[in-house]
Amino acid sequence: MQGISKRFGGVQALDGVDFDLRAGEVHIVVGENGAGKSTLMKILAGAQQADSGQILLDGLPAVIDSPSDAFELGIATVYQEFALAGALTVAENIFLGREPLRVRPGVIDYRAMNDEAARLLDRLNCPVPPTAIVETLGTAQMQLVEIAKALAFRSRILILDEPTAALSEGEIGHLFDVIRQLRDEGVSIVYISHRLEEFEHIGDRITVLRNGVKIETLSMAEASIDRLVRSMAGREVKELFPKQPAQIGEPVLRVEGLTVGERLVDLSFELRAGEILGVAGLVGSGRTTLCRALFGLERIDRGRIWLRGGEVTGLPPTRSIEAGVGLVPEDRKGQGLALNLTLRHNVALPSLPRISSLMGVRAAAERQLAAEQVERLSIVASSIEQLAGELSGGNQQKLVLAKWFAANSEVMILDEPARGVDVGAKAEIFRIISESAAEGRAVLMVSSYLPEILGMADRVLVLYRGRLAGELPIEGLTQERIIHLASVGGDLEESAA
């Protein structure tokens, strides 16, 4: 791939990236969120098209305008989200759309299909019968089915996107065996990962992307975790965050030994009034689970949560809201807003018990509530009667925040509060968050983008596989240290030892 560039609106996702892949190698691609890893791979897989640049295959220019073009050229991708039909068998999934037929058109030759599927699975050392129903399989097995599907296309290039994110240690070991075997058979593998400790077990070369630019490609001999972390973080970490000084007061929320299955293990921390507590960690590290557990959306196995001295462990959302907790979920369209209802309706929804009498919702109080928040958060809308779905992303996100200001929530749990909004709206959202902390609210903020954490937080929790990898004061904290804790689980000194 030569000089690949891609813009999304005002964001330069990729800027002149060169990337080469040799036959029979495992090439690891690393980078922070938003560095451009996924975009680059989507362009290779035909899911997106580059604005400029070209792709050469065996030295010849290749046109990859759609995923099916990529398949024809022998490029297959296993995404984090599997593309399997759960109700069909393993063999049916592997051959979906290309079933071996008998003489009569339309009749599948099941024997040939199952035999071929069994051969493929055997090659992957996957002990699953071809006739097993996919949805009964575990995650690791489903992943192998996806890889088998890719091999059935006789793929020469296999792209694996965060393949170990949902696997256990043993399963990861098996996956690595499979990857090595495929490599030795001549398949080229692009391996995207956040987990830096993996690269030395599996990689041949490693490419670092940052802000849409290729920083370097290293051989295994040159690479070390320290070097990669420095390379990923870069220098220009200072971004403008309108952080206001706030009086940090009494602890408001106290969490002790919080455990949710395997997703959150024995987590303890305090959250103080006026404080912004940043939560960092990789995808799947338990960040969202923590937010949901604090709001009563997860079944808590062990541990306790206190709010201002009263226990709130496992209270359902309705009661959590009454107790003064507000949640801005990561998916604003799916979970945050009712898009075909008005702005007024959305803002007032959590506050209705407070502004209702026996005769129903007090209309004047409701209008006032909505109007106040629109003004306070500078939400751009034609009126409070505009539909939420008609607002821009940034204004929608402000609307989700407005719900909790209207409800006078004392504790704000923010899961990726600035995801998917433009730069201007981001700065405004952070100004609002900062103001709300200065007013004495306690804020817990999850973000995948470390400059946001470093710019906003007073203190940072780093999660690694559901556990607390570190609780760090903001003074002197570097992106490198957070990346290291989040991707290795231990500290710089420990891994060096």
Partner 1 sequence: MTESSTASVNGGISEQRLWRLLKAGLPYAGLAVLLAVLSILRSESFLTIDNFTIVIKRSSYVIIAAAGMTMVIVSGGIDLSVGSIFAFSGVTGALAVTAGVPVPVAILMGVGAGAACGLVSGGMITLLRIPPFIATLGMLWAIRGLGEAVTHGGQARYIEAPAWRWLYSDLTTIQVAGLEIPVPVPVVLMVVVVLTFTYIMRRTRLGRYTYAIGSNAEAARLSGVRIRRVQAILYMICGGLAGLSGMILAAKLSAGVATEGIGEELTVIAAVVIGGGSLSGGMGTVGGCVIGALLMSFLANGCNLVGIEQHWQKVIAGAIVVAAVALDQWRHRRAG
| Residues at the site binding partner 1, with contacts judged by CB under 8 A | 295, 297, 316-318, 320-322, 327, 329, 334-341, 345, 348-350, 352-353, 356, 359-361, 363, 371, 374-375, 378-384, 386-387, 389-390, 403
Nearest Cα neighbor of 267 from 292, 295, 286 is: 286
Asked whether the beta carbons of 116 and 72 are under 8 A apart, the reply is no
Cα gap 90→148, rounded to integer Å: 10
Query: Judged by CB, which is closer to partner 1: 83, or 341?
Result: 341
Read off φ and ψ for residue 382, nearest 5 degrees: -70, -35
User: Minimal distance in Å, beta carbon 394 to partner 1?
Assistant: 12
Asked whether the beta carbons of 444 and 411 are under 8 A apart, the reply is yes
Asked whether the beta carbons of 50 and 6 are under 8 A apart, the reply is yes
User: Minimal distance in Å, beta carbon 382 to partner 1?
Assistant: 4
Asked whether the beta carbons of 300 and 293 are under 8 A apart, the reply is yes
Cα gap 95→153, rounded to integer Å: 9
Cα gap 448→482, rounded to integer Å: 11
User: Minimal distance in Å, beta carbon 343 to partner 1?
Assistant: 10
Beta pairing partners, 304: 256
* 210-219 long-range Cβ contacts below 8 angstroms, 24+ apart: 210/31, 210/32, 210/35, 210/234, 211/15, 211/34, 211/35, 211/36, 212/6, 212/12, 212/13, 212/14, 212/15, 212/17, 212/35, 212/36, 212/39, 213/15, 213/16, 213/17, 213/36, 214/17, 214/18, 214/19
User: Minimal distance in Å, beta carbon 326 to partner 1?
Assistant: 9
Query: Judged by CB, which is closer to partner 1: 167, or 361?
Result: 361
Query: Judged by CB, which is closer to partner 1: 307, or 321?
Result: 321
Beta strands of 185-225 (E only): which ranges?
188-192, 205-210, 213-219
User: Minimal distance in Å, beta carbon 419 to partner 1?
Assistant: 16
Query: Judged by CB, which is closer to partner 1: 217, or 356?
Result: 356
Query: Judged by CB, which is closer to partner 1: 249, or 389?
Result: 389
Cα gap 44→76, rounded to integer Å: 9
User: Minimal distance in Å, beta carbon 417 to partner 1?
Assistant: 14
Q: If residue 271 lies in a helix (H) or strand (E), which one and from where to where?
A: strand 264-272
User: Minimal distance in Å, beta carbon 390 to partner 1?
Assistant: 5
Query: Judged by CB, which is closer to partner 1: 361, or 438?
Result: 361
Query: Judged by CB, which is closer to partner 1: 59, or 334?
Result: 334
User: Minimal distance in Å, beta carbon 198 to partner 1?
Assistant: 34
User: Minimal distance in Å, beta carbon 438 to partner 1?
Assistant: 24
Cα gap 143→148, rounded to integer Å: 9
Cα gap 214→201, rounded to integer Å: 23
Query: Judged by CB, which is closer to partner 1: 10, or 106?
Result: 10
Query: Judged by CB, which is closer to partner 1: 84, or 348?
Result: 348
